[in-house]
Structure 1
Amino acid sequence: MATAFVASGRVRAASRSEFHMATFSADVTIPIGHPCMGGGIAPAREVVDPLLARGIVLLGEDRPLVLVAVDWCEIRNDAYDRWRSALAEAAGTDPSRVLVSSVHQHDAPVMDLEAERLLREQRAEGSVCDPAFHDQALRRVAAALKDALGSARRVDGIGTGTARVDRVASNRRYLLPDGSPSFGRTSATQDEYAREQPEGTIDPMLRTLSFWDGDRPVAALHAYAVHPMSYYGSGGVSSDFVGRARALMQEDHPEVFQIYLSGCSGNVTAGKYNDGSTENRPVLADRMYRAMRASWEATRRGPLERVGFRSTPLTLAPRDDEGFSVAELRDRLANDSRPFGQCLAAMGLSWRSRCEQGRPIDLPVIDLGPAVILLLPGESYVEYQLLAQRLLPDRFVMAVGYGECATGYVPTDRAVAEGDTNLLDWCWVAPGAEAVLAETMAKAIGAKT
């Protein structure tokens, strides 16, 4: 049965193979004083540029599909569920058909309502987020989505383009002079030796997926795998260099709704090319903008003949090694002298609660025929993005990270075996996640293995 959609203020039924798209944007900038990066860095002291939630609603013969990119660091657990439910209600669809991805800037919030409840219950000094602001921002986004349905436009074509990004991404991992691995190439790296080393394992290509109404472009989705930070940590709320690049593309093409999504970049930063100076933010923004522009100019178009969707449950075991048992996390929440240590414990307990309830993570896929959008959880490492592309070599695969972020890092087995130091605290999944995620991902995208 055809699903009703809203167009030109009136409701009518979408005919078979007829699709429409609504685009929406809302300001989700945190107030002064709000925690950034889950309480791990300075709270908001000034707004350098606004944080936005920008999304699309794809309407056709099945229930609507929603995809939204949010300029927040992470959305986790019950906060993530609330986003999917609220946007599903606004769009008239099921929460499973709502894809929410954080862009993952660090001068931005982590939203985990259960973690914040635990902190307040404990009367801890640490704070992850403000639930009242979270709910206010979410209502704004849902209202913007609902309003946008009244101006949905026909889309009958899709476009795909790629371009190499020049001097932005590098893997955290590099080799020391003695041949042993180090994982210290952060977003802002001042160690000259680390910056001189090769880029390592990255996906050098930015991908652009666009939707068209005849010869008129409607929306463009850009995705690239890199931590989107130049300098951060001093309280200057910002969408950082990727937000600036997105804004430049929007200025160039005001008729085309621009969205930027972060790929699977848990272990990919700009550290080789970024020393953390304020002057480097516009430099990185310009390099991203040039890649977006080149990818747009390289776009090849074809008809949009079908829109498929499937969601596969993913169950990742909780971490249970030293320091991560429920008892140890509770002790840390109660007794850690560092406010951020309290926040980490609360986020760990929030994830453990989800696991104990038997609630898997959804691994959603939007199948557009020649193109596929895949949303992976948390800080999935770039190797999963590269694997998805290898599994579907004849299709345009846009792998997106930072979906349900409760996992923290989702590393490879090699990273665990080599002692990746990034996994010391911001990782809540047990070793062995690689095989589980790879198998579930292959099933989700319909790959033959």
Structure 2
Amino acid sequence: MPAYLSHRFLFLTLMFWGCLFDGHEHPLWAGNLEIVTFNENITPKLGMPVAYAPARKILTPLYARGVVILSDEKPVVLCAVDAIGIGNQGYDTWREKLAEAAATTPDRVAVHSLHQHDAPRIDFATGKIMEDQGLGGKNYDNSYGRQCITQVANAIRSGLKNPQTVTHLGIGKAKVEQVASNRRLLGADGKVRLMRWSKSKSPDAINAPEGVIDPWLKCLCFWNQDHPIAVLNYYATHPQSYYGKGDVNYEFTGMAREARNEALPGTLNIYFNGAAGNIAAGKYNDGSTKMRPLLAQRVERGMESAFKSQKKTPISSADLHWKTEMTALPVATHLDPESLKATIIDQKRTPKERSTAAFRLVWYQRASQGHQIPITCLRLKSASILHLPGELFIEYQLQAQKFAPKQTVCLAAYGDYGPGYICTEIAYSQGGYESSPRASQVAPHVESVLTEVIRRLVMPEENSKK
């Protein structure tokens, strides 16, 4: 063999093996970006517990869907789950098992529930306490939660055998009209005078202004040349129109998501709920059955408009960056572990009261021992995606955008559900449900802790050092 051919053969051989052994079954050439999509049906069976009642009817299936992004770095997993909440050990286990399936580390896995109120709760530590009290399956079904994880992990492993090449990223946004409104209506004294909730027939609540919201729905689209592979949609609102009877469904945001799947065959639409702790459809929703499809159509129009408005640019592995801040959130002072333990074992209390106490005790024990929650940011060219815990107030989302005005900042909340509502500091002195002891498990100075973490994650490096 001529010398120049043997040298070229050696070079190509080294390139091949260097790309093959990068932790993936599928060889990834340096600089390339690839993606795996997954979409698993995780509908509970009739009789299983969903948010407020046993499942009595299945109106729509529930899904866990997302993407695995492959680059020169370790894989990144983004997963959105049709569940009211995934908390504490449940949240940890989801991330650990999905990381194992994707050959990455748990800190590079973001799992978020979409907070539908006729969908399950997943929290293995709380579920175990209830099992020990003879109340297994009443509010939590641990076997169901573990089966969901197994299904998704298997789907990821299967998908990694055939990833799709990503050549371009599209970034778009559009306003959603007549859906979101702030739940907290303040009086002249600065205190909450009326809660607007997810549905309302009160003329006062309906006629009041929308209040502080984020009206923008944002989308990030992964393309292989002219084919859209996956669309990530981000919008902030409580997703329910009416709920609580055990009629399992993915609500109006899920209906919008599925409509976009039908409009884009071969493309997976994924929806993430933003900082919607104090945001709901109450101004525009009277709770009647006719409103669910109407609200869905409004969100769908926003998704469609955001998709059509997107600016599409080439992307490579060099355009992906992931940052993690392990963060301990301050514990609410109202949590009394001895009182919670007494409630858990009190057979005169309802199963709901006992499970609520168990949930609070689990969070208290973890947080008081310094447990840290991963707060992460995925940078893709000029877009940044923040992944945060709890039922976060919209003010955090708006502040994140102010930190990086030249970027498209998307935010997915409802990660670790353990903290409950995460309000602004002033909200704890204003009254209202979200900041009450029954709703929030963190202390008021949580705002200063989280705001600083968000600033460090989302701000450009040159500005964050100033």
| TM bin (shorter chain) | over 0.9
| Correspondence for 2:33 among 11, 19, 28 | 19
Cα distance in 2, alignment partners of residues 280 and 410 from structure 1: 29
| Correspondence for 2:391 among 358, 369, 379 | 379
The one-letter amino acid paired with 2:323 is R
The one-letter amino acid paired with 1:413 is E
Cα distance in 2, alignment partners of residues 365 and 85 from structure 1: 18
1:249 maps to what in 2? 260
Is the counterpart of residue 4 in structure 1 residue 18 in structure 2? no
TM alignment of 1:26-425, pairs within 5 A: 26-37=40-51, 41-124=52-135, 127-176=138-187, 180-305=191-316, 306-321=319-334, 324-335=335-346, 337-424=349-436, 425=438
3-state SS of paired residue (1:217):
strand
3-state SS of paired residue (1:118):
helix
3-state SS of paired residue (1:272):
coil
3-state SS of paired residue (2:418):
helix
Residues 147-173 of structure 1: per-residue CA shift (max 9 Å, x gap) = 111221100211111100010000111
3-state SS of paired residue (1:343):
helix
Cα distance in 1, alignment partners of residues 136 and 384 from structure 2: 44
Cα distance in 2, alignment partners of residues 163 and 442 from structure 1: 25
Cα distance in 2, alignment partners of residues 311 and 178 from structure 1: 40
Superposition deviation, residue 330 in structure 1: 1.3
Task: Indicate conservation of the 8 Å contact 1:112/1:128, yes or no.
Answer: no
Residues 268-301 of structure 1: per-residue CA shift (max 9 Å, x gap) = 0011100111111000000011111111110111
The one-letter amino acid paired with 1:184 is M
2:449 maps to what in 1? 436
Give the TM-score normalised by structure 1.
Answer: 0.94
3-state SS of paired residue (2:195):
coil
Superposition deviation, residue 215 in structure 1: 2.2
Task: Indicate conservation of the 8 Å contact 2:331/2:368, yes or no.
Answer: no
Cα distance in 1, alignment partners of residues 315 and 157 from structure 2: 24
Superposition deviation, residue 120 in structure 1: 2.3
Superposition deviation, residue 265 in structure 1: 0.4
Cα distance in 1, alignment partners of residues 385 and 207 from structure 2: 34
Is the counterpart of residue 426 in structure 1 residue 439 in structure 2? yes
Cα distance in 1, alignment partners of residues 187 and 148 from structure 2: 45
Any runs of at least 4 consecutive aligned residues in structure 1 with deviations exceeding 4 A, and if so which?
Answer: 176-180
Cα distance in 1, alignment partners of residues 150 and 84 from structure 2: 19
Cα distance in 2, alignment partners of residues 421 and 290 from structure 1: 31
Task: Indicate conservation of the 8 Å contact 2:423/2:434, yes or no.
Answer: no
Q: Quick one: structure 1 residues 409 and 178, their matched pair in 2 at CA, closer, same or farther if it must change by over 3 Å?
A: closer
Superposition deviation, residue 415 in structure 1: 1.1
3-state SS of paired residue (1:423):
coil
Task: Indicate conservation of the 8 Å contact 1:125/1:339, yes or no.
Answer: no
Task: Indicate conservation of the 8 Å contact 2:190/2:430, yes or no.
Answer: no
The runs of 5 or more residues in structure 2 that have no matched partner are 1-17
Q: Quick one: structure 1 residues 133 and 179, their matched pair in 2 at CA, closer, same or farther if it must change by over 3 Å?
A: closer
The one-letter amino acid paired with 1:4 is D
3-state SS of paired residue (1:218):
strand
3-state SS of paired residue (1:284):
helix
Q: Quick one: structure 1 residues 150 and 327, their matched pair in 2 at CA, closer, same or farther if it must change by over 3 Å?
A: same
Superposition deviation, residue 181 in structure 1: 2.5
Q: Quick one: structure 1 residues 436 and 250, their matched pair in 2 at CA, closer, same or farther if it must change by over 3 Å?
A: same
Cα distance in 2, alignment partners of residues 190 and 254 from structure 1: 39
Q: Quick one: structure 1 residues 67 and 179, their matched pair in 2 at CA, closer, same or farther if it must change by over 3 Å?
A: closer
Cα distance in 2, alignment partners of residues 265 and 426 from structure 1: 14
What CA RMSD, in Å, does the superposition of the two structures yield over aligned residues? 1.8
Cα distance in 2, alignment partners of residues 386 and 254 from structure 1: 33
The one-letter amino acid paired with 2:81 is V
- Is the deviation greater in 179-188 or in 344-353? 179-188
Cα distance in 1, alignment partners of residues 44 and 312 from structure 2: 38
Cα distance in 2, alignment partners of residues 34 and 191 from structure 1: 34
Superposition deviation, residue 243 in structure 1: 0.7
Cα distance in 2, alignment partners of residues 439 and 47 from structure 1: 43
